[in-house]
Amino acid sequence: MDVYNNVSLQCSRLTTNRYSTSFTLGIRSLSSRFHDPIYAVYAFVRFADEIVDSFNRDDAAELLAEFKRDTFLAIKRGVSLNPILHSFQQVVTTYRIEDELIETFLHSMEMDLSDREYDQQAYETYILGSAEVVGLMCLRVFCEGDDPKYQHLKQPAMRLGSAFQKINFLRDLKNDYFTLGRIYFPHLNIQEFNEESKRAIESDILKDFKDGFAGIKKLPKGSRFGVYVAYVYYLALLQKIINASPARVLEERIRIPNARKYSLILSSYVRHSLNLL
């Protein structure tokens, strides 16, 4: 089993590396004992998202249902021939990640199969499942069984996940609307996306960031710097979006160049080392 466990983890690492340089850099900034568990969580989330976003198949609902069934079967059996699910079930068992978090995440993926416009309640439900509970899965890993600490940091972790997701929504407005036919922000008319509506979204994100940052400072030492790196990266991304016109946000996917990412990591390390968070 050791060989298969290692092969499965390598699949999760490869998935993360290929899909997101930003998350890979964030994970590498964590204590080494957290690398593989967070790779496994990311790969699981990424594969579910691929089913509803990228496969573009008529049987996507069936595929997602199979993925959900196989996920809980893997957790029950303690093994799966799907290496991504095998790695994920090990993390779920080791860190006691609740079935409720997994169910809530997969429910948001199911929403993507049919919902195209969101009211406030659906928007909040989607963010809860697609981002906030993923943050809680990671927090379970970081707290390593310390439930009082987990409960204390739960709300800030959810707010940080919410901020990250809303930024993704903003920079993916073009693709979400014109390719996938979705608008996540409630009551947003894409044809009337202007400075006023853009500022309202950005203000909401900044509030989430403020609430989330309070929790970063209280994270266990082994995870604090890595989460801070993710926070700094997304804050820089938000600032770039704030400085962009509404037309530019609709025309292109705003990005942070790799050189700038490495610069952010270096400056974050200095601040972290000097205890300036």
pLDDT tens profile 170-194: 999 988 888 888 899 998 888 889 9
Q: Is the model's pLDDT at 265 over the cut of 90?
A: no
pLDDT at 258 (0 to 100): 83
pLDDT at 80 (0 to 100): 98
pLDDT at 74 (0 to 100): 98
pLDDT at 179 (0 to 100): 86
pLDDT at 261 (0 to 100): 84
Q: Yes or no: say if 143 and 46 are a contact pair by the CB < 8 Å rule.
A: no
State phi, psi for 54 to the nearest 5 degrees: -115, -25
- The arithmetic mean of pLDDT across residues 40-64, rounded, is 92
pLDDT at 120 (0 to 100): 93
CA angle at 157 for the pair 156 and 161, rounded to the nearest 5°: 115
Q: Is the model's pLDDT at 273 over the cut of 80?
A: no
Q: Where are the domains of the chain?
A: 2-273
pLDDT at 121 (0 to 100): 94
Could you give the C-alpha distances from 104 to 17, 57, 238, in angstroms and in order?
A: 26, 23, 27
Higher pLDDT among residues 7 and 57, named by residue: 7
To the question of domain 2-273 being in CATH 1.10.600.10, the answer is yes
- The arithmetic mean of pLDDT across residues 224-229, rounded, is 93
Mean confidence (pLDDT) of the chain: 93
pLDDT at 276 (0 to 100): 61
Q: Is the dihedral of CA 168, 170, 171, 177 positive or negative?
A: positive
Q: Is the model's pLDDT at 7 over the cut of 70?
A: yes
Nearest to 37 by CA among 145, 118, 121: 145
Q: How far apart are CA 188 and CA 161, in angstroms?
A: 22
- Which tens digit of pLDDT belongs to each residue from 111-155? 999 867 899 999 999 999 999 999 999 999 999 999 999 999 999
Q: Yes or no: say if 123 and 169 are a contact pair by the CB < 8 Å rule.
A: no
Nearest to 168 by CA among 184, 157, 179, 187: 184
pTM: 0.93
- Which tens digit of pLDDT belongs to each residue from 83-92? 999 999 999 9
Q: Yes or no: say if 161 and 137 are a contact pair by the CB < 8 Å rule.
A: no
pLDDT at 277 (0 to 100): 66
State phi, psi for 110 to the nearest 5 degrees: -65, -35
